[in-house]
Structure 1
């Protein structure tokens, strides 16, 4: 699905703004049969949960409704007219007047509806969008719904971030010709100084196709004809981390001398390879520095905000980060486009977080039920995961900033049934995109001795919290176990290893002269301990701190107004650890830090077998 863009043959209207808003009530008629009778208004894009003072709205489980009036430009006569929603979390239904025109399950990928036959150019229509926040064992991410004694519905879920819902991304009305370009796929390579651009164009009708590559100065540098083919760009400018260079691929459908449709897709020329224990971009080893992030800000929740987009990337640059993971769902397309333009590397993750019932068992890692079974996460769950994977890769496949797909966060990869669940998904991901490496983020319960899926992937991303959830406050012991753990993965699988999560909750302003958990000094010491270990492991390729900024979570006595592992506060003020990271990362430019040659004293050394003691610790 191509993102709507204005071109010589296409126009679009942004429908963001204030919409009428109502919570579904079973005692009143369905709202799509007329005007919503409500005094509430909600902004789009934004999550609705934190907007209102009414606790019932924040805690509501089920459908809410957005509505506004839309006028179709009168110049669109003879064109196809479409509605596109960049996301509806987690299920959306779209009505044009009283007609259902689209329904989509999945809260972080776009969907659209052709409404040509339901509207009139120059006329108005009533647009109503229903959004359902329910999570079940057959959704990605999963969850469950229970009822209280007084009849209230409550949502539970297995991920540690707040279940914000609503229209958190933009809504568009756009036009395209009746005969049009439907999809474009771009794959790049390099031979010597020549950029190789393989392209494939899908169109609604069979007709002539003309493509050309335009450089950043607006010059045509290569042309071709046909629905698929190869362009060669001499003296190519590569897209590189920290030094982005983008070309435009202009695709035209032609009939004789007439251009029927035109679409422009930005792209960058770069190569990716995993070779031995190295991750290569453009043939050079790359070392990841950065964060797991969240789409999370006060009041707007997961609502996309361009001001925060710019400021967050400024902070990434200031701290010396070269990359981030879209934990734990694909972010708004504007984020990836910004990363494309500014040379930030992205690990693009699906919304498959919470496929692990072991977390219900606390530190034992033993859940009340097996994670993978006909009664828990099953073929229906797997099918939802596969569909989400298709939609993420279809949306993000042409972004040069995206260098790796992460297909799940902290699944129960140590449990029986994990391989049967994930092996078909890995195969599907490789069929959809054979050009990018695959990874997943391994939970603390999964060790190199018991993990059942690690061999299927190209890069091993490890989430570990030695010194926080285990050996809390004892960084000396934590260092021993961390090194044994990481070396065990390297020795067992011979693949590149990176830390996809490590961090410690920190209250800004909490200080101590000792290694006291929750203090700013402890967060600094914790990070420094991890970095010593990383620098001693040759196969180690990167460090993503958890988390970029504090973020909101569900209710829990172990959280004080959300997760406090941020290096920045929720309003983006730096904690002391931000300066620690800046001192380490600034100037690395994607290269691995020099190895620390200082050996641990004999009484601090440990063997990889010692990690057995931590199986199930989190």
Structure 2
């Protein structure tokens, strides 16, 4: 799905700001047709932002079900004769969009965009009532999964199996945009390198039969290649490659030509680079690449998962300062602005679906839970798999053209050693490869699924492991942890002979807590814990990356194991460095020197 943009043939209006806001506490909003008139409410909510931490009312924070956002929108009068769309960058986890009295779109999946053509329902120069209903419910057949408990008094509580807070609402932007009736509908780009030349293969989908013209310009604006046709290959002589830490972006412009005139124009940044797995190496532009960085979260105080450009820039500044060259979009697709920033600044991304919590032994963390079979008709089932497949489709459709994205992760910490795991995951791995043969695929393996017991690792190109020796296992005993970690990593190397990335390793750390004995939870323990892991990583030939869990402290559900959230961050939630940040900087900024 192409992101809306302003071009010679397209215009867009950003609808961010304060919207009227109302909580459907009685679960009657749809039958009472709240969308059919102005919301009766005194509340206003900011867009983009999660709504949970905005208000002081605990009932709003803990609400399970639908909330309603509403505002009036005026259509620019110059849009006569154009198609008019409303686009929602994300509605967590289900969205329903109404124009005046009519439902125009419904979408399930909280982290990918959707839109509706509303041309026949609005008038250029006129205004309309835009209502967006958002539902935060998770079930066994959603991605991520969850369940809802109903108490005797009717109170509903959302339970979920992932260790981050279930923030909800309109956390990303909402847009109104125009485009011609005959237009570019989609673009798919893949790149290769032939000697000193770059090769850009493209496919342009259009909404109607028309001529297509494609041109590529360099960063100075010079035309470096062009071709006619909806599919083709353009060779760029002496191409400048997109490199980690040294991004270079060409601009591909696709034009739809009708009767000799340009009916539509859409431009796309293109980075020329290759990605491959060769034996135990991960290659970018045919050179071995070693990942340094983090698993992250879209999380900040007050905003929750609301996208914020100030945090975006500051987070990337901190990653540059510490020497990180990569991150994983744990555990869901991030805002498109994040991906675009990574493209422009040469940051490498492992792009992940929202398939987290497919493991009923986890119980919302690593702390156990009611023993159930993960894969069964009553738990993670065919409906879950269908939702998971759709999540993969939407992720790849949105992010396929980002040069920063070097690998797809289709799940985090599933029950990959349980009966039924292979039947569940094999079709999904096949689907991901079919949708994008140009990138490696992976899943992130949970600590309980060792190289002896995992049932699906052979389906994937890279072994991404989450391991907490010295924290959840061998707590405080780093000597034992070092032995056990190395033994397991060597087992993965010997059995599969594929690249290994540690996608999570970390220790909860209370900022300001110090200990001469390196006691767990102290800043000193986080430092020596990371040092132990790094000694092991450096001794394993197949090792190609380390991504610390986590970049910053983040909010979680309540529990005795989580004191105001997960504290494994190298930075605090407000982005202040712990001692480990300086230790990591010393290691990562000296790699290759």
Give the TM-score normalised by structure 1: 0.94
In structure 1, what is the Cα distance between the partners aligned to 2:33 and 2:532?
A: 57
**Which of 172, 176, 185 is matched with 1:182 structurally?**
185
* 2:162–2:365 Cα contact (<8 Å) kept: no
1:13 aligns with 2:9: no
In structure 1, what is the Cα distance between the partners aligned to 2:585 and 2:557?
A: 31
SS at match of 2:314: helix
Give the 5 Å matches for 1:7-406.
7-26=7-26, 29-360=32-363, 368-406=371-409
> How many equivalent residue pairs?
590
Unaligned runs of 5+ in 1: 594-618
In structure 2, what is the Cα distance between the partners aligned to 1:344 and 1:366?
A: 37
* 2:442–2:460 Cα contact (<8 Å) kept: yes
Residues 579 and 62 of structure 1, relative CA distance in 2, 3 Å threshold: same
Cα offset, 1:538, TM superposition: 0.9
**CA deviations over 1:111-163 (Å, ceiling 9, x no partner):** 00000000000000000000000000010000000111221011000000000
Cα offset, 1:364, TM superposition: 8.8
* 1:181–1:262 Cα contact (<8 Å) kept: yes
Cα offset, 1:363, TM superposition: 6.9
Unaligned runs of 5+ in 2: none
| 1:515 paired residue number | 518
**CA deviations over 1:262-288 (Å, ceiling 9, x no partner):** 000111000001000000000000000
**CA deviations over 1:241-278 (Å, ceiling 9, x no partner):** 00000001000001232001100011100000100000
* 2:333–2:354 Cα contact (<8 Å) kept: yes
Cα offset, 1:587, TM superposition: 3.6
In structure 2, what is the Cα distance between the partners aligned to 1:271 and 1:361?
A: 38
Give the 5 Å matches for 1:522-537.
522-537=525-540
Give the 5 Å matches for 1:544-583.
544-583=547-586
Cα offset, 1:368, TM superposition: 1.7
In structure 2, what is the Cα distance between the partners aligned to 1:164 and 1:319?
A: 28
Cα offset, 1:30, TM superposition: 2.9
| 2:419 paired residue number | 416
**Which of 439, 457, 460 is matched with 1:457 structurally?**
460
In structure 2, what is the Cα distance between the partners aligned to 1:260 and 1:124?
A: 26
SS at match of 1:455: helix
SS at match of 2:111: coil
**Which of 444, 451, 458 is matched with 1:448 structurally?**
451
| 1:492 paired residue number | 495
Cα offset, 1:548, TM superposition: 0.1
* 2:160–2:363 Cα contact (<8 Å) kept: no
Cα offset, 1:374, TM superposition: 1.0
Residues 361 and 241 of structure 1, relative CA distance in 2, 3 Å threshold: closer
| 1:505 paired residue number | 508
Runs of 4+ displaced beyond 6 Å: 361-366
SS at match of 2:458: helix
Residues 487 and 201 of structure 1, relative CA distance in 2, 3 Å threshold: same
In structure 1, what is the Cα distance between the partners aligned to 2:395 and 2:138?
A: 19
Cα offset, 1:528, TM superposition: 0.2
**Which of 425, 435, 439 is matched with 2:438 structurally?**
435
* 1:360–1:368 Cα contact (<8 Å) kept: no
* 1:193–1:236 Cα contact (<8 Å) kept: yes
In structure 1, what is the Cα distance between the partners aligned to 2:25 and 2:70?
A: 16
Cα offset, 1:365, TM superposition: 6.5
In structure 2, what is the Cα distance between the partners aligned to 1:264 and 1:518?
A: 49
Cα offset, 1:367, TM superposition: 5.3
Residues 556 and 365 of structure 1, relative CA distance in 2, 3 Å threshold: closer
Cα offset, 1:425, TM superposition: 0.2
* 1:237–1:245 Cα contact (<8 Å) kept: yes
